[in-house]
Amino acid sequence: MYTFESRIRYSETDSRGKLTMASLINYFQDSSTFQSEDLGLGVEYMRWRHLVWVLSAWQIAVSRYPGLCERVTIGTQPYDMRGFLGYRNFAMLDERGGYVAKANSLWSLLNVDTGKPVAVPDEMLQGYRLGEKLDMEYASRKISFPEGGETREPVTVRKHHLDTNHHVNNQQFISMAMDCLPEDFEVGQVRAEYKRQAFLDDVLVPRVAAEGERTVVSLEDGQGKPFAVTEFLRMSPAAAAGIGAAGK
């Protein structure tokens, strides 16, 4: 597994001094970016090949949120590549080597000029060393939406929502959806199913439905066609209170 070390910064924490979900996702994204750059398969390589990796699905399970100044290790490992698809795990560990978060992700490789999927080229297959699949409970990438749902205030895509591919970054979709959660909702797991890309000035309309400890947010256009569907599971009271150590 490719890893790098860090320390939780003040700018990455919430009002309780704990790492935010947005910052956790950014750490995961940074780890795969660092690995790709170190292998010569980063941003410039992708531009030269007219390729882009587009995230199709996230599953992020959190045992606890590290606090301010905690030292952590962030890691990532692609474990399968077939056709135009890439499967990649992520993890964050504390100083004792315990997992505080694990994640699974599914990516699609597209040609920038045509917008169509393309097979992973040989230099990528050879460059990325596939590792073992991380031990975690894997959920389906498909997310079902409960009956009904309540429409919330629309969100207009601004420049700060975009990444180097000029579309809304996957973390930004999740942050928009999290704004629809109740104040006391501590996220234990988030899944996201990305349907299509959103661009500058697009208007996203959140539709929210709760079902027990599960809340689903669909970010849609004015005709009800989703850009992304996200599912949030509430963290157990014991984990939210910080009781017990993170598992290995």
Q: Each residue of 118-177: pLDDT tens digit?
A: 999 999 999 998 999 999 999 999 999 988 889 999 999 999 988 877 888 889 999 999
d(CA 100, CA 149): 32
pLDDT in the model for residue 242:
61
What are the beta bridge partners of residue 76?
2, 90
d(CA 228, CA 177): 9
pLDDT in the model for residue 236:
78
Domain 2-240, CATH number (from 3.10.129.10, 3.30.365.10, 2.60.120.10, 2.130.10.10): 3.10.129.10
Backbone φ/ψ region at 97: left (φ over 0), alpha (ψ -120 to 50), beta: left
Give the model confidence (pLDDT) of 10-44 as tens digits: 999 999 999 999 999 999 999 999 999 999 999 99
Secondary structure class of 90 (helix, strand, coil): strand
C-alpha closest to that of 6 among 88, 94, 112, 106: 94
C-alpha closest to that of 85 among 58, 111, 55, 64: 55
pTM exceeds 0.75, yes or no: yes
Average pLDDT, the chain: 92
Q: Which residues contact 9 (CB under 8 A, 6 or more apart)?
A: 68
Enclosing H/E stretch for 63: none
